[in-house]
Amino acid sequence: MENAPKRKPESARRANRIIRARTLVLMLVLGIFSFAALFANLYKWQIVHHDRLQSMAISQQTRKTTVSASRGTIYDRNGDILAISATAEKIFLSPMEIEKYIEEDKNAKSRAFIAEGLGGILGVDAARIEEMMDKTWSEYEVIKLKAEQEEADAVRAFLNEHGIRGVYISTNAKRYYPYGTLAAHIVGFVGTDDYGLYGLEALYNEELEGTSGMVVTAKDGSGASLLYQYEQYFEAHGGDSLELTIDTTMQYYLEKALEELEAKYGTGAGATGIIMDVNNGAVRAMASLPTYDLNDYGTIHDERLAAELSELEDEEYLEKLGALQLRQWRSKAVNDTYEPGSTFKILTLAMALEEGEVSTSSHFNCVGHAYVQGWNDPINCSNRTGHGYQTLTEAAGNSCNPAFMELGLRVGTQRFYQYLKDFGLMEKTGIDMIGETTGIFANEKDFNSQIVSLATYSFGQTFNVTPLALIAAQAACVNGGYLYTPYLVERVLDDEGNVVKQHTPTPIRQVISEKTSATVREILEYVVSDGTGRNGQVAGYRIGGKTGTAEKTGQKDESGSNKVVVSFVCFAPADDPEIIMLLTLDTPSRTTGTYVSGGNMVAPVASAAMAEILPYLGYEAEYDAGDVLFTNANVPNVIGQSRESAALRMSASGFAFTTVGDGPTVTDQTPVGGSVVPSAATIILYLGEEKPDTPCIVPNVLGMTAEQANAALTNAGLIMGVSGMTTSSARSVIAISQSDVEGTQLPAGSVVTVQFSDTSVSD
C-alpha cells in the first residue's frame, strides 16, 4: 500500500472544479457574444443592407439599358400632326469593355481607328470620342443621343465589318415637328432628353412623356456582355396625345398675315395675332413675331435678329444668342402686355350701353379735343379739327376720343373699374400655356380718385393688357355677353385613342346682356362698313370690327415721335359671329409712305386673311346687285359662233367683250370658255385673227384707283380681281397690293388680284 497514489486534497479539487466552471462560463459567454456579434453582422448585411447589396450585385452582374417611351403626338383639331416622336437610335460605348477587347483580341482595332470611324459616320469629333474611351473605369458614355436610322445602320455595318466590341446601339425616340415654324409658340419643344421645355410640350410633359421601359442583360466581372445568359425586357408605355383647338389652315392664314404686316411696315419690334371662337373661347390660331423653327429651336430664325450676332464673339456672342433665343421663344400674345388704344373702345361702348347711360339715339359734339377735371391740358381726338355733331354709332365709326371719354365719365370710376374686373382684365385668363402674365392697371383707390385716368382708360390708353385677355373680353362683347376661358387643348387621348380628358367650355360669367351685345355688334359693323375700319371690309361678307392706334406712353422713336402700336380686331359674320381675330404690330415704320394707323396698316391685311378664312369655314359670299367687281362667273365658250350670237351669249352672262379682227365667226377667245373670272372682266373675242401666244407682262398698278388699275391690266391682256375696300368711291381708295408683281409673265387672260384701301383712315 506504500506505492498507492496520493489523492489531492479536497481544496485542490474544489479549485479545479471552480476553474473548469469558470472556463465553461467564460466560453459560454464568449460564445454568446461571438454569436451575437456574428448575428448582428449577419442581420446588418442580410437585412439592413440587403437592398443596397442586392442592387450592387445586380449592378455588377447586369447591364440596364433604358427603352424610351414613345412621346404622345400633338394634333390640331382636324387630326393634322403638329408634333410626333419617331424612332431614333442612341449610340453609346463602354470604355471598360473596349479596353478589355483591345487587350484580349490580337486583331482588335485601335481607339483612334474606332473613334475615326464612328466620328465620320455620326458627325461627331473623333477626338471627343477618344476622350470617352480613355475613361476605362466607365461603362457608359453616350456618343450620339438621337441618331437617324441611316446613321445607326452604318454604325452597325462598321462594327460588324471590323468585329468591334464595346459599342452599343439602343432604340430611342426623336421629336419631329412636321410644320416647322407653324404654331411654334403654342406647341413648344423638348430638350435632348425628350423633356418638354416650352409651350404645350412643357405644360403637358407629364401626360406626353409616358413611362420608359428597360432591357436588363447579364455581364461578366470585367463588364463584357454575356450573350444568351440572361435578358429581361420591361415594356415602355407610350404617352398620352393632345388634340388641340388649333386649326393648321387658319394658323397658316394668320401667320401669313403677320408676315405681310412685318414685311410692309415692321421694324422688328414684333407682331402678334389671335383667332378665337367667340362662343366657347377655343383658340383657333395664335402666333407671334419673331418666330422660330421647332426642329431647330436654338437657331435664330429671323434674319434681322440673326444679323445682330454677326460681329460678336465668345462670351458676348453667347450672351446675345441666349437673349435672342428667349425673345424668339416668347409669345407676345400671352407673355407680353401693351396699351390697346381704340380697340378697347368696344368695352367702353358695352359698359355705357349696359348701364343705360347711352343708346343709339345719343348724340355727341366733338371739337377735336376735350378737357377733363384735374388735368390742365386738352386731350386730343385723332381728328384735331373735330368730328362735329354725331350719333353714338357715328362716334364709334369715327373712333372719336372725346365722345368715348364722355361715355367713360357717364359710367363713372367705380362701375368702370368693376367692369375691368368683370371682363377678366385684372387677372390671368387661365389659358393652358406657361408664362401668362397679367395686365398693368392703377389700383382701385388711385383710379377712383383720378378722373383723368377714367378718361384715358375709356379710349384704351395709360394701362396695359395682354392681347389674349383683350380678345377674350372683346369676344364677350359680341357673343351675347359671356366671358369664356381661352383654351388650347380640346382632348387628351391615351396611347390607344381613348379620351382621358375632355375640355367642357363653361362661361365664367355673363358681363353684359344679349340685348347690349346685339347693339354692340350692330355699331361695330357700321365701323367696318362706313368708319375707320372700312379697310377691313371683305366683299360678300358682313364684318364687324374696330381699329386701334395706341401711343406707347413715355416711349419716343429716333425722330422724337411717340412710338405706337397699330391694331385691328374684327369678327364675322357680324350678325351671328363665329370667330374673332385680333392683329397687332408693334412700332411700325414711319417711312413707308402710309399714314401710321391701324385702319391703314392692319385692317387691309386682316381683310385679306378673312377673305381666305371665311370661305374655308364654309361661309358663302353674298353679293349685292352692284357688286359686279367682286363676283365671279364662268366664261361661256363661244368659239365657232357668229359674232352676233357670241355677243348675245356674253351679254346674257353679264360680261363685256371686245373683238379683234372683222371675220363673221369667233375663232378664239381670251379667257377660254369655262374659266372663272370676275364678272367685271372684259372678254376678248378673235374674229379670224390668230390669238397671240406671247405671255403678258404684269404692270405696276400700286397707287392707282380701281378704274385706272382695271384699265392698265386690261390693256396688258390681263383681268383684274378685287379685294379689300368695297364701299367707297373716294379718290383716296387706291391699290395697295397686287398678287403678281410688276414684270411677271402670265398667260393672256390671267387674273391679277388687286387689294384696294382707303389711305385717308386716321385710326
Cell readout for 637 is 365658250
CA distances from 564 to 347, 383, 397, 455, 643 (A): 21, 17, 21, 19, 60
Alpha carbon 267 to its chain's center: 21
∠ at Cα 337 (336, 338), nearest 5°? 130
Closest CA to 564 of 532, 535, 596: 596
Within 8 A by CB and 6+ apart from 143, the residues are: 91, 92, 93, 118, 122, 124, 129, 132
Cell of 763: 385710326
Residues 6+ apart with CB under 8 A from 450: 374, 442
Residue 266, class by beta-carbon neighbours within 10 Å (0-12 exposed, 13-18 middle, 19+ buried)?
Answer: buried
The single-letter code of the amino acid at 185 is H
**What is the dihedral sign for C-alpha 111, 113, 116, 122?**
negative
| H/E segment holding residue 370 | strand 369-372
Place of cell 458676348: 316
728 flagged as catalytic: no
Cα 61–Cα 139–Cα 65 angle in degrees, nearest 5: 70
d(CA 313, CA 68): 38
- At residue 440, what are phi and psi to the nearest 5 degrees? -120, 115
Give residue for cell 365709326.
397
323, burial (CB in 10 Å: exposed 0-12, middle 13-18, buried 19+): exposed
The rounded Cα 539 to chain-centroid distance in angstroms is 29
Name the active-site residue from 342, 362, 517, 762.
342
Question: Which residue, 604, 348, 595, is CA-closest to 461?
Answer: 348
Query: In this structure, what are the phi and psi dihedrals at residue 659, rounded to the nearest 5 degrees?
Result: -115, 150
User: Which residues does the annotation mark as catalytic?
Assistant: 342
